[in-house]
Amino acid sequence: MNKTVVIYESKYGYTRRYAKWIAEELSCRIFKKRNFHPKDFSQYDTIIYGGGLYAGGVSGIKLITQNWHLLSDKKVVLFTCGLADPGDPYNISNIQKSLSKIFSEEMMKQICLFHLRGGIDYSRLNLIHRSMMSMLRRMLLKKDPDTLRDEDRYILDTYGKCIDFTDKESIRPLTDYISSCSG
């Protein structure tokens, strides 16, 4: 019996929503990262980890990188949840560049990646996140407008608002992949 677990860290709830949908679809257990003890990796064959993207990093990803010795014989699936459109190959390439700084080559080979689109509600951001987004906005406003990418313009247009791109259907490639592995 292939045992699967979903573990996630979510600051504002977008990754949590995806993690819940995935666990429901796969009928498997789900844990917040802070409630999961690494010794319990031994109970599972497939580990699905989800985290929000923050300045290129993945929230809580140390659970995977620091416990890699417990994961080498397991199927490891990572889903990121970010604002950037994963339908744009430029964004995927940026995410993968950031991930290659976090993971060793061996890890990159073993981890199966999926990118899901989350959202942002500026009214709920903590002070640090709010000032990071304000810095990003100032930086974009200083650029020559003709050099801005659509994604940059979108950040400027929606700055201060509440946007939600979460879409249950977008988990399908991930859940189909897991189902195909467990035959």
Q: Closer to ligand FMN by CB, 132 or 181: give it.
A: 132
Residue with tokens 């406003």: 141
Q: Closer to ligand FMN by CB, 11 or 33: give it.
A: 11
CA 6/CA 87 separation, integer angstroms: 24
CB of 27 to ligand FMN, least distance (A): 22
Q: Which residue is nearest to ligand FMN (CB)?
A: 118
Q: Closer to ligand FMN by CB, 4 or 91: give it.
A: 91
Q: Closer to ligand FMN by CB, 54 or 177: give it.
A: 54
Q: Report the chain's C-alpha Rg in angstroms.
A: 17
CB of 40 to ligand FMN, least distance (A): 22
**Closest C-alpha among 88, 93, 83 to residue 116:** 83
Answer yes or no: are the C-beta atoms of 106 and 64 closer than 8 Å.
Answer: no
Residues paired with residue 52 on neighbouring β-strands, in sequence order: 81
H or E, element range at 142: helix 127-142
Q: Closer to ligand FMN by CB, 1 or 127: give it.
A: 127
CB of 20 to ligand FMN, least distance (A): 11
CB of 128 to ligand FMN, least distance (A): 7
CB of 53 to ligand FMN, least distance (A): 4
CA 3/CA 167 separation, integer angstroms: 26
Give the CA angle between residues 36, 39, 40 to the nearest 5°. 55
Query: What is the binding site for ligand FMN (CB under 6 A)?
Result: 10-15, 52-56, 59, 81-84, 118-120, 125, 129, 132-133
The identity of residue 160, as a single letter, is G
Measured between alpha carbons, how far is residue 51 from residues 57, 62, 76, 183 in Å?
A: 9, 11, 14, 27
CB of 10 to ligand FMN, least distance (A): 3
Q: Closer to ligand FMN by CB, 93 or 179: give it.
A: 93
